[in-house]
Amino acid sequence: VSHPLVSRVLSGDTRAVARVCRAVDDRLPGYRDLLRELHPHTGRAWILGVTGSPGAGKSTLTDQLLGHLRASHERVAVIAVDPTSPFSGGAVLGDRIRMQRHFEDPGVFIRSVATRGALGGLSRSVSDLARVFDAWGAGVVLIETVGVGQDELDVTRAAHTTLVVVAPGLGDDVQAIKAGILEVADVFAVNKADRPGAEAAVRDLENMLALGALSLAQVSPPASHAVSGRHARRPGGGGAEPREGWTPPVQKTVGTTGEGVVQLVESLEAHRVWVESTEMGQDVRRSRAHAQLVAMLKDAVTESMLSRLGDPIREMADRVEARQEDPYTACERLIERFRT
Ligand SMILES: Nc1nc2c(ncn2[C@@H]2O[C@H](COP(=O)(O)OP(=O)(O)OP(=O)(O)O)[C@@H](O)[C@H]2O)c(=O)[nH]1
Ligand SMILES: [Mg+2]
C-alpha cells in the first residue's frame, strides 16, 4: 500500500510535492520510504545543471530557459542551490524577482536549497529533490548552483546536461574558470554578450577546448574518455570517421534580453540527444550514476559508522591531543572495531 503523499505527487499535486520536499530537506522520519516509493516513477526528467561564477547570470539565464522549456513541457522544476550570494546581494529575494513571472504558473515548481546545513550532503539533497520533481512529472529539472567549491560541483553530477555560464569582465575569464568547472561543462554560455570582451571570451574558450581535445586524443583512445573524464571529446582532424564524441559548444547570450537563448536551448537539446542516442553518451550516463551511488554510499557509510562509534571517538581524540596516540593509529583502532 503506497503512502497517500506518494500517489498525490504522482497525480501532479504541487502541495504534496512541497510537503515531500520539506520531508526530504529536514530528513523527517519516513522520508526515505517516500523516496523509495517514488523511485520507480522516475527516470523521465531531463536534469539540466546550470553553473558558473557568482554573478555570471545563472539565475537570469535559468529564468529564460524556464520560459522556453515550459513551452514544450507540461511541468518544469527549478532547484536553486544557495541563492544567497554576496555578489548580487540578491539572496532568495533576487531570484524570486527574476523568476517571478513563473511563480504563479502551476506547471512550474521552484525550490531553494541552502548550502550550509544541508543534511547528509548537498549533492544528495539535490538529487533527492530532483527525484521528487521527476516523479511529479517534470519534463525538465533545472539545477542552479554556483561553480565554486567541490560540494557545488558535485551537484552537477546529478545532471544529464550541464551548462556552464561565463561572463566577460568579471575577472571571470578562462583562467578563472578552468579549475574543475571545465570538466563538468557540456555546453558553455558566454553571457553578458552585450558587454565588451565577449568575443575574446568565446575565442579563449574555443581555443582551450581545442587544446583539451588534442591532448586527450593523444593520451588515450576515445572509448576510455567517458570513464576517466566526464565525457569524451571529439578526436581532432578525421573528417570521414564517425565522430561520436562531444565537444562543448560555446554560445553567446544576453540573459537580460533573451538574445541567443533559442540557440542555447538547441545546443542543450543536442547534448541531450547525444547522451541518449550514442554509446559514448550512455557510458557518460552510467559513469555518472556510478559516481552518484558511490557518493551516496560514502554519506551513508560515514553516517552509520560515526553514529555506531559514538563516545570512543571523543576518547580517542583526547588521547591524540595528549600525544598518547597518533591520529593514524587512532583511526585504525576505531576502524578495527568494525572488523570484530
Ligand atoms: N548587461 C547584462 N547584465 C546581465 C546579463 N545577464 C544578467 N545580468 C545581470 O547580472 C546580474 C547578476 O545576474 P544573476 O542572474 O543574478 O547572476 P547569478 O549568476 O545567478 O548570480 P548568483 O546566483 O548571485 O551567483 C543581475 O543584475 C542581472 O540583471 C546580460 O546578459 N547582460
Ligand atoms: Mg543566482
Q: What values do phi and psi take at 265, rounded to 5?
A: -60, -40
Residue 190 has pLDDT above 80, yes or no: yes
User: 51 CB under 6 A from ligand 1?
Assistant: no
- Percent of the chain topping pLDDT 70: 79
Least confident range of 45-49, 91-95, 159-163, 289-293: 91-95
> Residue 233: its pLDDT value, please?
41
pLDDT-derived band at 304 (thresholds 50, 70, 90) equals confident
User: 53 CB under 6 A from ligand 1?
Assistant: no
H or E stretch including 108? Answer: strand 108-113
Residue 237 has pLDDT above 70, yes or no: no
pLDDT in tens, 123-146: 788 889 999 999 999 999 999 988
Name the residue at shortest CA distance from atom 30 of ligand 1: 192
pLDDT in tens, 34-74: 999 999 999 999 999 999 888 889 989 999 999 999 999 99
Q: Which residues of 263-300 are buried (b: 16+ CB within 10 A; e: fewer)?
A: ebbebbeebbebbeebebbebbeebbeeebeebbeeee
Q: What values do phi and psi take at 175, rounded to 5?
A: -60, -45
> Residue 234: its pLDDT value, please?
40
What is the average per-residue pLDDT within 261-285?
Answer: 93
Q: Which residue has the higher pLDDT, 177 or 200?
A: 200
User: 129 CB under 6 A from ligand 1?
Assistant: no
> Residue 320: its pLDDT value, please?
95
Dist CA 230 CA 290 (whole Å): 12
Quick one: angle between helices 122-136 and 14-25, nearest 10? 160
Cβ atoms within 10 Å of 11's Cβ, excluding its own: 10
Residue 104 has pLDDT above 80, yes or no: no
What is the average per-residue pLDDT within 239-248?
Answer: 61
Dist CA 216 CA 233 (whole Å): 8
Ligand 1 closest atom vs CA 80: 23
User: 55 CB under 6 A from ligand 1?
Assistant: yes
User: 220 CB under 6 A from ligand 1?
Assistant: no
pLDDT-derived band at 113 (thresholds 50, 70, 90) equals confident
CA of 88 to the centre of ligand 1 (A): 8
User: 257 CB under 6 A from ligand 1?
Assistant: no
Q: Which residue has the higher pLDDT, 193 or 1?
A: 193
Q: What is the pTM of this model?
A: 0.81
User: 260 CB under 6 A from ligand 1?
Assistant: no
Ligand 1 closest atom vs CA 60: 15
Least confident range of 21-35, 198-212, 270-284: 198-212
| Chain mean pLDDT for the chain | 81
pLDDT in tens, 163-182: 999 988 755 555 555 556 77
User: 255 CB under 6 A from ligand 1?
Assistant: yes
CA of 58 to the centre of ligand 1 (A): 7
What is the average per-residue pLDDT within 104-120?
Answer: 76
CA of 90 to the centre of ligand 1 (A): 10
pLDDT-derived band at 324 (thresholds 50, 70, 90) equals very high
Residue 312 has pLDDT above 50, yes or no: yes
> Residue 106: its pLDDT value, please?
85
- Percent of the chain topping pLDDT 90: 46
Cβ atoms within 10 Å of 182's Cβ, excluding its own: 17
Name the residue at shortest CA distance from atom 7 of ligand 1: 57
Residue 90 has pLDDT above 50, yes or no: no
Q: Which of 19-28, 76-85, 109-118, 221-230 has the highest mean pLDDT?
A: 19-28
Ligand 2 (ion): residues with CB under 5 Å are 58-59
Ligand 1 closest atom vs CA 94: 16
